[in-house]
């Protein structure tokens, strides 16, 4: 009797997950919960930590946990995910070591002008030092963002 082995098509998984998404890089020395609180207060979002989305990476026989905050816009079918890009001395996306947080916007509602407006609003948040739109094509470790 032969056993059937199924192989996960990572390229298709990545393509499906990142369909209709925008990714922002945020630089801030604040802790994730402090920054999310400030964003919630100033921009009227409702980010909450979602422990079930926490990303666990194992490297060098050690485990690293990257927190993910989530906000679902009720009227626009848009989900916002705010990832911590570092845990101790490890990075969720090692190619973006200079970025502290990643903000993934998932859904068809947001167009380029909406993202640009959000970036401008984020630049006025007291704890934010820098915000930039990231090109997903240049990110090597996209699989690390998929929960």
Other Cβ atoms within 10 Å of 46 Cβ, number: 14
Which residues neighbour 129 within 8 Å (Cβ) at sequence distance 6 or greater?
27, 28, 29
Instruction: Give me the CATH code for the 19-145 domain, please.
Output: 3.30.310
Q: Which pTM value belongs to this model?
A: 0.88
- pLDDT-based confidence at residue 41 (cuts at 50, 70, 90): very high
Place of tokens 């964003």: 39
- pLDDT-based confidence at residue 8 (cuts at 50, 70, 90): low
Provide φ and ψ at 107, rounded to 5°: 150, 160
The alpha helices in the chain, defined as continuous H runs, are 10-17, 32-43, 112-123
Residues 21, 70: Cα–Cα separation, whole Å: 15
Residues 43, 24: Cα–Cα separation, whole Å: 16
Residues 146, 16: Cα–Cα separation, whole Å: 10
| pLDDT at site 19 | 86
User: Where along the chain do its domains lie?
Assistant: 19-145
* Cβ–Cβ < 8 Å for 83, 102: yes
Give the pLDDT mean for 36-60. 92
């Amino acid at each position: 009797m032969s056993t059937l082995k199924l192989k996960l098509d990572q390229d298709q998984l990545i393509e499906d997950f990142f369909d209709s998404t925008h990714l922002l890089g945020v630089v801030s020395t604040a802790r994730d919960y402090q920054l999310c609180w400030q964003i919630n207060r100033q921009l009227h979002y409702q980010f909450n930590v979602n422990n079930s989305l926490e990303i666990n990476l194992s490297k060098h026989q050690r485990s690293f946990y990257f927190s993910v905050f989530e906000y679902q816009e009720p009227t626009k079918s848009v989900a916002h995910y705010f990832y911590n890009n570092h845990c101790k001395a490890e990075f969720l996306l090692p190619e973006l070591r200079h970025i502290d947080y990643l903000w993934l916007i998932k859904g068809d509602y947001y167009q380029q002008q909406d993202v640009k407006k959000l970036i401008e609003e984020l630049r006025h948040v007291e704890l934010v030092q820098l915000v930039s739109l990231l090109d997903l094509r240049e990110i090597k470790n996209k699989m690390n963002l998929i929960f």
